[in-house]
Amino acid sequence: MNEYVADKTRYEKMKYNRCGKSGLLLPALSLGLWHNFGDSSPFENQREMVRFAFDSGITHFDLANNYGPPPGSAEENFGKILKKDFRPYRDELIISTKAGYYMWEGPYGDWGSKKYLIASLDQSLKRMGLEYVDIFYHHRYDPNTPLEETMEALAQAVRQGKALYVGVSNYGPEETRRASSILKQMGLRLLVNQPRYSMLERRMEDGLQQVLEEEGIGAVVYSPLAQGLLTSRYLDGIPEDSRAMKSVFLKKENITDELVNKIRKLNEVAKRRGQSMAQMALSWVLRNGKVTSAIIGASRKEQIADNIRALDNLSFTAEELQEIDAVLNS
**Residues making contact with ligand NDP (CB under 6 A):** 32-36, 62, 139, 169-170, 194, 222-228, 231, 233, 242-243, 278, 295-299, 303, 306-307
What's the rounded Cα separation, in Å, for the pair 297 and 293? Answer: 13
How many Cβ atoms are within 10 Å of 15's Cβ, its own excluded? 13
3 versus 302: smaller Cβ distance to ligand NDP: 302
Task: Note whether 153 and 118 are within 8 A (CB).
Answer: yes
Q: Phi and psi for 184 in degrees, rounded to 5?
A: -60, -40
Task: Note whether 311 and 28 are within 8 A (CB).
Answer: yes
136 versus 222: smaller Cβ distance to ligand NDP: 222
CB-based contacts of 272: which residues, under 8 Å, 6+ apart?
none
What's the rounded Cα separation, in Å, for the pair 330 and 327? Answer: 5
39 versus 160: smaller Cβ distance to ligand NDP: 39
The CB-of-157 to ligand NDP minimum distance in angstroms stands at 17
Task: Note whether 218 and 289 are within 8 A (CB).
Answer: no
What's the rounded Cα separation, in Å, for the pair 188 and 183? Answer: 5
209 versus 303: smaller Cβ distance to ligand NDP: 303
Question: Taking Cα atoms as reference points, which of 158, 94, 86 lies closest to residue 121?
Answer: 158
Task: Note whether 252 and 244 are within 8 A (CB).
Answer: yes
The CB-of-284 to ligand NDP minimum distance in angstroms stands at 12
The CB-of-103 to ligand NDP minimum distance in angstroms stands at 14
- The H-assigned helical ranges of 66-113 are 73-85
194 versus 283: smaller Cβ distance to ligand NDP: 194
What's the rounded Cα separation, in Å, for the pair 78 and 194? Answer: 21
Assign 213 to helix, strand or coil: helix
159 versus 271: smaller Cβ distance to ligand NDP: 271
Instruction: Report residue 199 CA to chain centroid gap.
Output: 16
- Cα distances from 251 to residues 50, 58, 67, 195, 247, in angstroms, run 27, 29, 19, 21, 7
The CB-of-281 to ligand NDP minimum distance in angstroms stands at 8
The CB-of-193 to ligand NDP minimum distance in angstroms stands at 10
The CB-of-295 to ligand NDP minimum distance in angstroms stands at 4
AA identity, residue 215:
E
14 versus 186: smaller Cβ distance to ligand NDP: 14
160 versus 313: smaller Cβ distance to ligand NDP: 313
113 versus 242: smaller Cβ distance to ligand NDP: 242
The CB-of-274 to ligand NDP minimum distance in angstroms stands at 15
The CB-of-154 to ligand NDP minimum distance in angstroms stands at 15
The CB-of-1 to ligand NDP minimum distance in angstroms stands at 22
Listing DSSP states for 122-188 in one string gives HHHHHHHT-S-EEEEEE-S--TTS-HHHHHHHHHHHHHTTSEEEEEEES--HHHHHHHHHHHHHTT-
What's the rounded Cα separation, in Å, for the pair 175 and 283? Answer: 28
